[in-house]
A and B are shown apart, each in its own frame.
Chain A
């Protein structure tokens, strides 16, 4: 009886450990302004609302100074190796999941590489941003896949 109990306890411990190992383990790394550069355009990355990041399945982290450059990376390298992608909330500057964020595009929005897309955690914040600007297009991560990414210098020139 006692031995059976021991087995049971051990089984519970093992199951608990295995569960801990699985699931979501991709964590975004903080931005170090002194050393981090954009994996695409080589520019120094500012620890601001425009920074984005991809963590690959094998644990590498690629950081970008602009959402547009992260998209360039996805085009070049495909999305199969991506464990998780992160963007920043425009206001709080906290990392949020790329798939769950809301996006606003307008050519007049200034971003580091002039792609003109900013990200928000809450849909209402994105809508408020659009009404405040008087222009802008609300998008989800799925919409971004069909977005024509253009780095134009911000003024449609």
Chain B
């Protein structure tokens, strides 16, 4: 029976091979119902390419030899996961999966795509998941590019959802150009060193990019919107968070754009952090460099808690309700930032204020002792009390040389330009309307 089956499979493969004009070494699978995709995969020799014609295939599949599976035409091939197993399990090093939609919508434990082999490439996939989208376990040197991951089942609480891409003990992975929405943590790295996370869009999830116990991570050019936290860098060292944009992390009481906890020697540079509850939050972290970031319109721009020996310079704080809060963080080198709420005095004309900008720790301390008092955030009484509180001023966090004006350079937000034009044109149109109204509806002399 088994021999019979395999003969049939081979025959179909042969036929497919003859019919198609594919170069040798490629296999065109047949989307017929009595031929399972797994059987085709098991037949393939290492190094072979299986090209899937348009259609819907039924999983789960397990890949045990290093092959390439790609859609004949991206977006037309759907692999349907079924039940509690992973839709795709990759156990062979060097496997490539490309251009396939994976629909694995069951709410379950095992991930939609499970990778346990080195050097795996996942390209241009579309994954609708009810669990972790892609989970990598003890496998190195892989890539995930151009992939979209969406959460499928309705009515699942955020805390119970799976992660988009979840790496555990997986080193040197490159995660580039992906879009991940509505999951728990969009990209989660645990114990995974030397990861490169660039050009991804992470939205409506718990944490956009979450790293724990991972070293030398590069997080660059990503965009995070409406997450609880944009980038959560925890127990990390020698990483960089550069040129990312994190906007509107504001819907949760604990939201922030970028959070560093127990993080050391991290470079946080040239990020745009806009409209968040807290822009950048740094706790129990040392030796980090925060420079050239734009912190716009956050409730709290920068929050420091028991953070020391960090360098914070050249950042712009514009339109935040409170520029900065700090407690227990006197030992940082803070210079050359622009704080728009601060009025300095520049007698020698070097563009830097001669008086320091000190961050009053009063409210931060009160709110720590009695969290309910956060209700009085920026209430007139609290601002007045803060003004009276001057104890231990020499140990406060302070910018020794705050800038008098924002530096001309720095990344501009695209929106700024657009909205400026929009405002101009709207005003012009309104003015036109009013003038014509006055002209046409005026009371004429009889």
In this complex, the interface size class of chain B, counting residues with CB under 8 Å from chain A, is: 20 to 34
Residue of B nearest to A42 (CB): B261
Name the A residues within 8 Å of B169 (CB-CB): 153, 155, 157
Q: Which residues of chain A have C-beta atoms less than 8 A from B191's C-beta?
A: 153-155, 157
The CA of A13 and the CA of B402, in the complex, are separated in Å by: 67
B159 at the interface (CB under 8 A from A): yes
Asked, given contacts A35-B254, A44-B228, whether A153 binds B159 with beta carbons under 8 Å apart, the answer is no
B213 touches A42 (CB 8 A): no
Contact with B along A28-39 (1 / 0, CB 8 A): 000001110100
Inter-chain contact B157/A35, CB cutoff 8 Å: no
Cβ–Cβ < 8 Å partners of A46 in chain B: 159
Report the separation of the CA atoms of residues A153 and B259 in the bound assembly, to the nearest whole angstrom. Answer: 19
Q: Would B252 and A151 count as touching, CB distance under 8 A?
A: no
A79, CB-defined interface residue at 8 Å: no
Interface residues of B in 179-217 (CB under 8 A from A): 190-191, 206, 212-213
CA of A151 to CA of B234 in the docked complex: distance in angstroms?
A: 12
A114 near B: Cβ within 8 Å?
yes
Q: Does B283 contact A (CB under 8 A)?
A: yes
B253 in the interface (beta carbon within 8 A): yes
Which chain A residues numbered 29 to 87 have a C-beta less than 8 Å away from chain B? 33-35, 37, 41-44, 46-47
Bound state CA distance, A114 and B212, in angstroms? 10
Name B115-159 residues within 8 Å CB distance of A.
Answer: 157-159
Q: Kindly state whether residue A152 has any CB partner on chain B within 8 Å.
A: yes
Closest CB in chain A relative to B61 CB, distance in Å: 27
Query: Would A42 and B228 be within 8 Å (CB), given that A151-B235, A153-B190, A154-B191 are in contact?
Result: no
Is the Cβ of A153 less than 8 Å from the Cβ of B158?
Answer: no
Q: Which chain A positions have C-beta within 8 A of B232? A: 43
* Contact across chains for A35 and B253 when beta carbons are under 8 A apart: yes
A7 → B minimal CB distance (Å): 43
Beta-carbon contact of B283 and A44 below 8 Å: no
Question: In the complex the two chains form, what is the Cα distance from A128 to B109 in whole Å?
Answer: 23
CA distance A35 to B191 in the complex (A): 27
**A150 to chain B: closest CB distance in Å?**
11
* Given contact pairs A33-B158, A114-B213, A157-B213, a sample of 6 additional A-B residue pairs in the complex whose CB atoms are under 8 Å apart: A35-B252, A41-B234, A42-B261, A44-B254, A46-B159, A152-B213
Residues of B that sit less than 8 Å from A by CB: 157-159, 169, 190-191, 206, 212-213, 228, 232, 234-235, 252-254, 259, 261-262, 281, 283
A-B pairs with beta carbons under 8 Å apart, 15 shown: A35-B252, A35-B253, A37-B254, A41-B261, A41-B262, A42-B281, A43-B234, A46-B159, A114-B212, A114-B213, A151-B213, A153-B190, A153-B213, A157-B169, A157-B191
